[in-house]
A and B are shown apart, each in its own frame.
Chain A
């Protein structure tokens, strides 16, 4: 049964135009970043790093593929999760709107299995989109700007050699994907609660904004500051601190996975309890 439900969901995603709009939006964001970097990036970087260039030697141009990928990674703050939350919550809200959820439930399908497959698809879709984003960024950025050392400002200026930068970017995409999965399972749970698509989008966007705001807040309690979910969503940024704290990075990602599982459990429980229609 689960396999058939999974195949059905896969067919829906492949045939839905929304899927391609999402991928198109990701490509558009990447292209815009590339265009701006191509025409204005060198000037801005030269101004910022003029004094440093007199004291240090940088391998290749600082406006390189690695920097572009880092800039694209920054769209994980807001643009990409917003697009993903709209699409994945639509996996369920569209079924409510079109009456197909009712049709599915009339076919002796178990509610729990159905919603768990929806969550699984939301996770798979997120992984696929982030992989797509990573691969296309690599292709565009390296083809146009080539390789080179990466300079990133997090508390202080951090310099990474080209190979090290590439490795850190790859891990960042993985960590970022875990944060995106958290956002997406949350949007699916919101869709279960709200049912209506536009209201779900609004609440999802609000959740995203509030999470980003809370990220900067000091709650005055070390444990709370370390464990509360808004404090974990920027873990991918920790990979651009020179001295890597792997315990913190792995711990934070593990916690985010636990939060995501909690969201799935809450959503499944509510969906199972609620009447359809």
Chain B
């Protein structure tokens, strides 16, 4: 369990964090959403002890030998060393097992090949993220903090990283806190969300609750949707391959049923929930 209570941090020019409280339970994946500069990284640095908060309290309840593992901003790796040597260094300095078999296990856990001997400078960003997670997971931490883990990854990389995060929470019961300014990725894997703006938590709740409460439009992909009579009752914007329909979460099931009964072949329905909607929701 990771708890941050009433955390505040000010710099000469601005207030970076203003009375922020956050909580993540074991096995829970919690997302922190916010624009660039909202204070997400500052909060993570405080939670991991890299910087000191001006006030507030951090409680780490974990029976494990290491309470927290993290990647802040980007995976900091020795680019001139291979994955094996990177893990050997990071495992060694914290007194974890650094023998070849243990290092092989660390690599396999995050789905990295065990036979690559070239420097990690040659690795793709996705592989570096995985190696960063492997390092963060050394010594079996109770909590994992990932700052913008999807940044720069292609869709395959994102999907694969989401699978890894889900399995770590589900099978290893790690409390996972991750940040992003992209709504889509977080809504796919997080049980709960905190929304940050200008150093404050402006909204929070379970992901399902937030989506149902603040969703105002859906993008629908379907064949022959242009001829639909049902859609005329709604405000719509026709795109190249999709139609954006303004409706709330209570209306979408009825709309889809009506479209299907009209003979429209719906292939996808994507909620258009944006960060701005979540921020404006309580402002």
Contact = CB atoms under 8 A, between A and B. Distances in A.
A8 B89 contact: yes
A98 B50 contact: no
Given A16-B80, A98-B77, A275-B51, A103 B90 contact: yes
A8 B94 contact: no
A101 B50 CA distance: 10
A99 B79 CA distance: 11
Contacts of A99: 73-77
Contacts, number: 83
Nearest to B138: A107
A216 interface: no
Interface string A1-36: 100110110011001110000000000000000000
Interface in B34-91: 45, 48-52, 66, 68-81, 85, 88-90
Q: Give the interface size bracket for A toward B.
A: 20 to 34
A200 B69 CA distance: 31
B74 to A, nearest CB: 6
Nearest to A12: B78
Contact of A277 (B72, B77, B78, B135): B72
Contact of A100 (B73, B77, B94): B77
A4 B139 CA distance: 15
Interface string A108-122: 110000000000000
Contacts of B68: 106
Contacts of B75: 99, 103
Nearest to A108: B94
B95 interface: yes
Interface in B80-114: 80-81, 85, 88-90, 92-95
A105 interface: yes
Contacts of A15: 78, 80-81, 85
Contact of B88 (A11, A17, A276, A277): A11
A182 to B, nearest CB: 28
B220 interface: no
A276 B51 contact: yes
Contacts of A7: 92
B89 A11 contact: yes
Contact of B66 (A5, A102, A108): A108
B72 A275 contact: no
Contacts of A276: 45, 50-51
A42 to B, nearest CB: 45
A230 B258 CA distance: 88
A11 B90 CA distance: 12
A1 to B, nearest CB: 7
A235 B34 CA distance: 60
Contacts of A107: 90, 93-94, 135, 138-139
A106 B85 contact: no
Contacts of B70: 106
Contacts of A12: 78, 81, 89
B76 A98 contact: yes
A251 to B, nearest CB: 39
Query: Could you say which of B45, B49, B93 has the most chain A C-beta atoms within 10 Å of its C-beta?
Result: B93
A135 interface: no
A103 B76 contact: yes
Contacts of B136: 106
Query: Could you say which of A98, A101, A102 has the most chain B C-beta atoms within 10 Å of its C-beta?
Result: A102
Nearest to B145: A106
A99 B132 CA distance: 11
A4 B98 CA distance: 11
A11 to B, nearest CB: 6
Nearest to A8: B89
A4 B52 CA distance: 26
Nearest to A3: B92
Contacts of B74: 99
A265 interface: no
Interface of A: 1, 4-5, 7-8, 11-12, 15-17, 98-109, 275-277
Given A16-B80, A107-B138, A275-B50, 7 more contacts: A1-B93, A4-B94, A98-B78, A102-B73, A103-B135, A106-B48, A107-B93
5 contacts: A15-B78, A104-B90, A107-B138, A108-B94, A276-B45
Interface of B: 45, 48-52, 66, 68-81, 85, 88-90, 92-95, 132, 135-136, 138-139
Q: Which 3 A-B pairs have the closest CB atoms?
A: A99-B76, A103-B76, A275-B51
